[in-house]
Amino acid sequence: MTFASGAVARSRLDLSWPILIGFALILCALIVLPMSWLVYFSVTDKGRFTLTNFVKLVTDPTFVAPLVTTVVLATSSAVICCAVAAPMGWLVARTDMPLRRTIRALVTASFVTPPFLGAIAWELLAAPNSGLLNQLYRGIIGDPQADPLFDIYTLPGLIFVISCYTFPYVFVLVANALDRIPGDLEDASAILGGRALVTARQVTIPLALPALLAGALVAFLQAMTLFGSPAILAIPAGFHTMTTKIWSLFQYPPKPELAAAASIPLLVLTVLLLRAEQLILGRRGYTVVGGRQSDPRLVRLGGWKWVALGLALLVLMNPVFLPYGALLNAVFSPVATQLVTLGTATLKNIHFVFFELSATKLALKNTLILGLASATVGTLIALVISYLTARKAIAGWRALAFLATAPVAVPGIVLGVGLFLSYTRPPFVLYGTLWILLVAFVTIALPSAYQQLQSAFRTINPDLEEASRILGATRLQALGHITAPLLRTSVIATWCFIFVGVIRELSAAIILFTSETKVISVLIFDLNESGDLGAIAVLGIIMLVITFAVVIAINRIPGFGGARLRT
């Protein structure tokens, strides 16, 4: 009787269901509210239904030109990324090229570099008049007035820079696909008389082709939705992409209805591309029956392996060595676009950033607060939603799973527009506060956090939770005391990834910030407009140091390693 009475008392005080349902409602609010306002504003004008905004998009040359430019940019970047990343993925995964692990790590370095910071580094390198490479070229030919060898402020220059920081997506997909192809299949082809080229054409390439096509779509999507690089390189050159055009509609006088209408095609195209990627990756596959799969068979390159290594390092000069070198040079140089020497080295840029630039402390403080809060809140929401969907704990769990992954289809600039429209009016006036940036960062990070923890939940047998519930624990107690500790590694890794994402996020923040809510990425963007390249280099190096420190810490978590980082 005593045990029964205790169980009844606990059941009456069990707040698990209200709390779990509350998390589900929070998820709905995060996704549905901004997208609803986005759609509403796109088809209204002063409260009246109209399609005028969409008509203007397809008839006004000031909107048509950015759309055409975006398509050219995204297509060109996707082609270049595939042409570069596919051979590099093959060299790293399927050959005996030296330093293959180092090459993977360097590709990761380019992967975690914020593209807008890479664009600024290439400004230092390839600006037509002051770029370091152009100065070097003029010095070599002995003609200070010669035309520049490189001009980064052009559409080809923008395509090049975006490709530098997009090809890692293709590389990861191709290299991982090649890693998973069992050597048995290629051995069988060789036994049947197939030469290396025949085996590659009939076995290896067909199995890796879905990953390559999916990589091409991802590269297209990334190039299409980036804001930072086009804003830094395209606007000074006198042209817009769709993301920069949407941003410009919030300059004075603001045109939120047109911004909403311009965001809808970008949103729809993103959804279609992600759906196509899922179909491609899920359409073709293979299963090896009859035992353990053998390791991939490495192709012996002989003396060519050093040539291959040289080519791989040459490719990595563009996203890693040259940009990082330019940023480090700018940190210690009196003039950011002049090579520093022992005689000219100075700490004035560092002093300026930390002791003279008033916005630095506020931006660092805001970034730290938002990073910690977003990582904690995002991980908690992802953990609870993953629990609800993995354990099918409530009705509508499939809808929750869809909503948790839906933000991956929402470009950052589009989400920023939706949040601006949602939280600049009652009952939730969050604009001008850190709260709106917190909502944006949590929403952006939610899909990857959810997928990470959802996969982790599938590895844990629910019997442990059921046993604790039989002994009187509530669902929340079982989650907190049984399941969460078993997920400790994944939870920590998810927290760290969200924290890193907040530090480098610009697309949504550029729409939502005010003078009191600037973060490091926005401060760097503002300094670029004023030409303070030395200060930018200092802040950029700080951002990279924090990012790499967190990534290294993640990979040192026992049981985590580097595999998850490449997914």
Q: What is the CATH number of the domain that holds 175?
A: 1.10.3720.10
Could you tell me which residues are beta bridge partners of residue 95? 299
| Numbers of helices and strands, H then E, in the chain | 29, 4
Closest by Cα among 229, 243, 242 to 65: 242
Task: Note the pLDDT of residue 14.
Answer: 54
Q: For 210-224, 347-361, 469-483, which range has the lowest pLDDT when averaged over its residues?
A: 469-483
Task: Note the pLDDT of residue 485.
Answer: 80
Q: Is residue 59 part of a domain?
A: yes
| Residues 216 and 278 placed together within one structural domain of the fold | yes
pTM for the model stands at 0.85
| Residues 306 and 355 placed together within one structural domain of the fold | no
Q: Is residue 422 classed exposed, middle or buried when 0-12, 13-18 and 19+ CB atoms within 10 A define those classes? A: buried
281 vs 422, which has greater pLDDT?
A: 422
Could you tell me which residues are beta bridge partners of residue 44? 49
With a pLDDT cut of 90, the percent of the chain lying above it is 44
Q: Is 49 left (phi over 0), alpha (psi -120 to 50) or beta?
A: beta
* Listed ranges 199-208, 280-289, 487-496, 512-521; the one with the highest mean pLDDT: 512-521
- What are the angstrom distances between the C-alpha of 170 and each of 208, 410, 414, 504, 510? 11, 20, 24, 21, 27
Q: Is residue 521 part of a domain?
A: yes
Domain around 534: 341-567
Residue 153 scores a pLDDT above 60: yes
How far apart (Å, rounded) are the C-alpha atoms in residues 518 and 446? 22
Task: Note the pLDDT of residue 426.
Answer: 82
| Residues 348 and 235 placed together within one structural domain of the fold | no
Q: For 251-265, 275-289, 478-492, which range has the lowest pLDDT when averaged over its residues?
A: 275-289
Q: What is the mean pLDDT of residues 216-221?
A: 89
Task: Note the pLDDT of residue 157.
Answer: 96
Q: What is the mean pLDDT of residues 182-199?
A: 57
76 and 216 Cβ atoms separated by less than 8 Å: no
263 and 42 Cβ atoms separated by less than 8 Å: yes
| Residues 115 and 246 placed together within one structural domain of the fold | yes
| Residues 98 and 222 placed together within one structural domain of the fold | yes
Task: Note the pLDDT of residue 5.
Answer: 42
With a pLDDT cut of 70, the percent of the chain lying above it is 87
| Residues 474 and 350 placed together within one structural domain of the fold | yes
How far apart (Å, rounded) are the C-alpha atoms in residues 95 and 97? 6
Task: Note the pLDDT of residue 2.
Answer: 42
Q: Is residue 250 part of a domain?
A: yes
Residue 40 scores a pLDDT above 50: yes
233 and 123 Cβ atoms separated by less than 8 Å: yes
Task: Note the pLDDT of residue 457.
Answer: 81
Cβ-Cβ contacts under 8 Å for 229 (sequence gap 6 or more):
115, 116, 118, 119, 158, 161, 162, 165
Residue 171 scores a pLDDT above 60: yes
201 DSSP assignment: I
Task: Note the pLDDT of residue 203.
Answer: 62
| Residues 104 and 208 placed together within one structural domain of the fold | yes
Instruction: Give the rounded distance of the alpha carbon of 60 from its chain centre.
Output: 32
| Residues 354 and 237 placed together within one structural domain of the fold | no
Q: For 24-28, 39-43, 63-67, 322-326, which range has the lowest pLDDT when averaged over its residues?
A: 24-28
How many Å is the Cα radius of gyration of the chain? Answer: 26
Residue type at position 96: D
| Residues 397 and 269 placed together within one structural domain of the fold | no
The pairing of strands 44-45 and 424-425 is unpaired
Residue 308 scores a pLDDT above 50: yes
Residue 414: pLDDT band by 50, 70, 90 thresholds? very high
| Residues 245 and 390 placed together within one structural domain of the fold | no
Task: Note the pLDDT of residue 187.
Answer: 57
Task: Note the pLDDT of residue 4.
Answer: 43
Q: For 397-411, 413-427, 435-449, 466-480, which range has the lowest pLDDT when averaged over its residues?
A: 466-480
How far apart (Å, rounded) are the C-alpha atoms in residues 136 and 125? 10
DSSP code per residue over 266-281: HHHHHHHHHHHHHHHH
**Greatest Cα-to-Cα distance within the chain, rounded to the nearest angstrom:** 98
How far apart (Å, rounded) are the C-alpha atoms in residues 537 and 357? 14
Q: What is the mean pLDDT of residues 258-278?
A: 85
- What are the angstrom distances between the C-alpha of 526 and each of 112, 233, 235? 22, 14, 14
16 vs 103, which has greater pLDDT?
A: 103
Instruction: Give the rounded distance of the alpha carbon of 339 from its chain centre.
Output: 32
Task: Note the pLDDT of residue 7.
Answer: 44
Q: What is the mean pLDDT of residues 532-549?
A: 91
* Listed ranges 79-88, 101-110, 212-221; the one with the highest mean pLDDT: 79-88
Residue 3 scores a pLDDT above 70: no
Tokens of 220: 């297209």
Number of domains forming the structure of the chain: 2
Find tokens 């606990």 and name the residue. Answer: 10
Q: Is residue 71 classed exposed, middle or buried when 0-12, 13-18 and 19+ CB atoms within 10 A define those classes? A: middle
Residue 290 scores a pLDDT above 80: no
Q: Is residue 322 part of a domain?
A: no
How far apart (Å, rounded) are the C-alpha atoms in residues 466 and 461? 10
| Residues 388 and 256 placed together within one structural domain of the fold | no
Residue 406 scores a pLDDT above 90: no
| Residues 273 and 388 placed together within one structural domain of the fold | no
Q: Is residue 55 part of a domain?
A: yes
Closest by Cα among 306, 309, 347 to 330: 347
Q: Is residue 227 part of a domain?
A: yes
Task: Note the pLDDT of residue 480.
Answer: 74
Q: Is residue 271 part of a domain?
A: yes
Tokens of 422: 């949602």
